[in-house]
Amino acid sequence: MKNLVLGALTLALFITNAQAEKMHQADSTAPNILLIMVDDLNDYQGVFGGHPQVKTPNIDKLAASAVRFTNMQTNTPVCQPSRNSLFTGVYPHDSGDFGWTAKYKHPVLKHNKTIMELFNENGYFTLGTGKLMHGNKTPEWQEWGNEVKHNYGPTIFDGKNLTATKNVPAPFRNIGAIDGSFGRLSEGGVSLGKKGEAGWVMGWTKAPFRYLSENDRDLLPDEAHAKWAEEKFTELANKTSKQPFFMGVGFVRPHTPLYAPDRFFDMYPLESITLTPWMKNDVDDTHFKENFPENGKGLKYYRELVASYDGDREKAMKVFLQAYLACITFMDEQVGKVIDALESHPSLNKNTIIVFTSDHGWQMGEKNYLFKNSPWEESAHIPLIIRPVISATNNKVSNTSVEHPVSLIDIFPTLVDYANLKGDHRNNDKGGRLGGFSLRPLLESKNSGESAPQSWQGPNGALTVVGNYANSGKEKSVAKQNYSYRTKDFRYIRYSDGQEELYNHKKDPYEWKNIAKQKEYQTIVKQLKREVTAILGACIDSAL
């Protein structure tokens, strides 16, 4: 028995050493990957033109040396299932992930590898920090930075419960400490950072957060993640090993609560803020209310924000928008720190692919809706910037744009393609099939700003499923979900009850007029419905 145990231990040690040897034998010319994920970010960046006043110099600078996708879409406009899909490469309709099930507990996705695991198997050094997946499972990463569970803090602690800051009026403040609060850090008052003390604390954990002034305070979570990345790039540059790396950095702002240092609010004087275009009766020809509960977050949040300012929509939206813009510019500064740190090490920078994106967008009062998780452009449309490694055969990809619609599902196969990753994306045959297509043909096309090149194998449009809070519990039929499909010129929406919306983006970029029932567009409706059905493929359990 003793010999058997010794033999088993020897075999295990041999396997471990063999795996380690495999990692050290990774191709030193393989590209490094830097993935920057941002939470709840729509197209409010200067380079994407989503808001005329937004200040995002660092994101804009990155785009000037990269390719930006102007028609990038989420596959589901809410955090957890969106990230589950991105990091596994599996469409929500393939996995049935329409709700809030963690990847590691999901009956299908638990059998899929994450992209980090595939990088690990291919000899990469993987390291990450911040909000990447919900409840990051750190063994997937060889090195993890700050906080395993993402933190939206700081938040205000009143001695008993987490609450909104005093500047936020009711009834909006009654929504809670996360979604129901926004403002300058100074509006939370002085906090000495003592345990159990009322004042600023670090979100879920209620750990003390010290705030005496703008120049004398603890780091916000996103600042800590940026600092960690800066330090790690120095360590990586000083390593003698040429092992390629995959680094993920997840920033939570502009996710609520919309807190940022005062100087970022000062950049957006309230009286001069420009509101996004809005039409009073825009909601009248939509079918969202008929398929989602009236007390759902987006509809409720809008009503309660406006009510909090005595029905003055303009004032209410300006106050909220100021906080959102301030948080975006705060986040942009952290992005700049990370990219500057990478570029300060030429040996790393010259061989690193940068991917910058978000999990979904945010609706800023359009269609009387203030939240994510809607089927419309503001919620589904997100930024995507990719800076490929520049080589002799690929040296004209900077400062260009791609108009063809793509989505988060395409990031997994793109990274597999560029890093030449080998191996199955599943742990076993119970895992979901890989969706999406490599974006390489679009990235390297000489006419990337026009139509997709013939080498593009992906669909004509990008598919989003809006499942949360409607048909995500007992009703998990693929056909009974709510789908939003974006092509270059149109957005087609089909709800679970069969109602439809169609918007012509050439004539109606704000999606103000639903033309789904107009006679002259019936051919378009039928064509887009066929394209949606083709993407759903074998998962569809009845015709749409």
110: which DSSP letter?
G
The reported pLDDT for the residue numbered 11 is 38
Residue 133 lies in a domain: yes
pLDDT lower than 50: segments of the chain: 1-24, 392-394
Specify which residues 251 forms β-bridges with: 38
Q: Which domain holds residue 468?
A: 32-149+220-263+318-539
Compute the distance between CA of residue 186 and CA of residue 215 in angstroms, rounded to an integer.
11
Confidence (pTM)? 0.93
The reported pLDDT for the residue numbered 235 is 97
Q: What are the φ/ψ torsions at residue 503 (nearest 5 degrees)?
A: -130, 135
Is there a contact between 415 and 98 (Cβ–Cβ < 8 Å)? Answer: no
Residue 105 lies in a domain: yes
Tell me the Ramachandran region of residue 89: left when phi exceeds 0, alpha when psi lies from -120 to 50, beta otherwise.
left
The reported pLDDT for the residue numbered 474 is 56
Cβ neighbours of 443 (radius 10 Å): 22
Residue 176 lies in a domain: no
The reported pLDDT for the residue numbered 296 is 85
Report residue 520 as tokens.
Answer: 């002259």
Question: Could you give the residue ranges of the DSSP H alpha helices within 205-312?
Answer: 221-238, 262-266, 288-291, 297-308
Q: Which of 43, 46, 69 is nearest to 449 (CA)?
A: 69
The reported pLDDT for the residue numbered 542 is 59
Residue 69 lies in a domain: yes
Residue 438 lies in a domain: yes
CATH of the domain at 514: 3.40.720.10
Residue 274 lies in a domain: no
- How does pLDDT run across 54-81, given as a tens digit for each residue? 999 999 999 999 999 999 999 999 999 9
The reported pLDDT for the residue numbered 521 is 98
Compute the distance between CA of residue 170 and CA of residue 172 in angstroms, rounded to an integer.
5
The reported pLDDT for the residue numbered 149 is 72
Residue 295 lies in a domain: no
Number of domains the chain is built from: 1
Residue 299 lies in a domain: no
Q: What share of the chain is helix, strand, coil (3-state, %, to 5)?
A: 35, 20, 45
CB pairs under 8 A, 24+ apart, for 167-175?
168/308, 169/308, 169/309, 170/308, 171/304, 171/307, 171/308, 172/301, 172/304, 172/305, 172/307, 172/308, 173/308, 174/304, 175/300, 175/301, 175/304
Report residue 16 as tokens.
Answer: 């471990």
